[in-house]
Amino acid sequence: MRKEASIIFDMDGTLIDSSAAMTHSVNYVRNTLGLSPIAKEFLEYHINQPDQHLPKIFYNTDEYDPAHRALFKDHYMHFSPSMIALYPDVREMLHVLSQKAYLSIATNASDFFARHMLEKMGIIEHFSAIVGANNVAEPKPSPLMVYRLMDELGSDPSKTILVGDSIKDELAASNAGINFIFAGWGYGTSETASVKAHNIHELLSLLNTFI
């Protein structure tokens, strides 16, 4: 049966608490480079702010080195399953929403990381499409991920909404001309989002009025 509404979720900091795992793997790479470790809060801030030069911030390089990417990937894929967790009541929320709307993922991580994590958490079956930063020319706050998902799912902008925990998510939704709900339990902050959910139960109530 054709569903009218489409809900796009950010992943890290919105559905999955993964910052400890990401910090662990970034610090593993930093250690190989002779750099001191960073704190989890430092990573959470910088990955959620626009216009951050992350290769320089994390590894003191002008661009990501393929060797550093490989080190991070191998370490993260090995250790992340034991260090990530769904936020409370996410599984139940996705089960309810997937009966009424198309669910998808727009993440600034690579899609293979997203699929890996969603499979490990046992929720990947709820999503009709997954788009990562490696699938588009520009990551969020660009609207390209949103455009791609709407095209893939045949979604109308008026019936599409994005849920995320950062200004990058908020801007991606605004740039694509769709509605946005700020997830207040994540890593980022927002002074400008007009609709905010403080927990999963509030989010489910807001989304039920949308769909």
What is the predicted pLDDT for the residue at 1? Answer: 66
Judged by DSSP in three states, 146 sits in helix
Percentage of the chain exceeding pLDDT 90: 94
200 or 211, higher pLDDT: 200
* Range scoring the smallest mean pLDDT among 5-9, 22-26, 98-102, 188-192: 188-192
Helix axes 144-153, 167-176, angle to 10 degrees: 60
The CA–CA distances, whole Å, from 34 to 29, 30, 66, 137 equal 9, 6, 18, 32
β pairing state of 179-183 and 196-197: parallel
Which pLDDT band, with edges at 50, 70 and 90, does 189 fall under?
Answer: confident
Q: In whole numbers, what is the pLDDT of the chain averaged over residues?
A: 96
Is residue 207 within 8 Å of 161, Cβ to Cβ? yes
Question: Is the pLDDT at 18 greater than 70, yes or no?
Answer: yes
Share of the chain above pLDDT 70, in %: 100
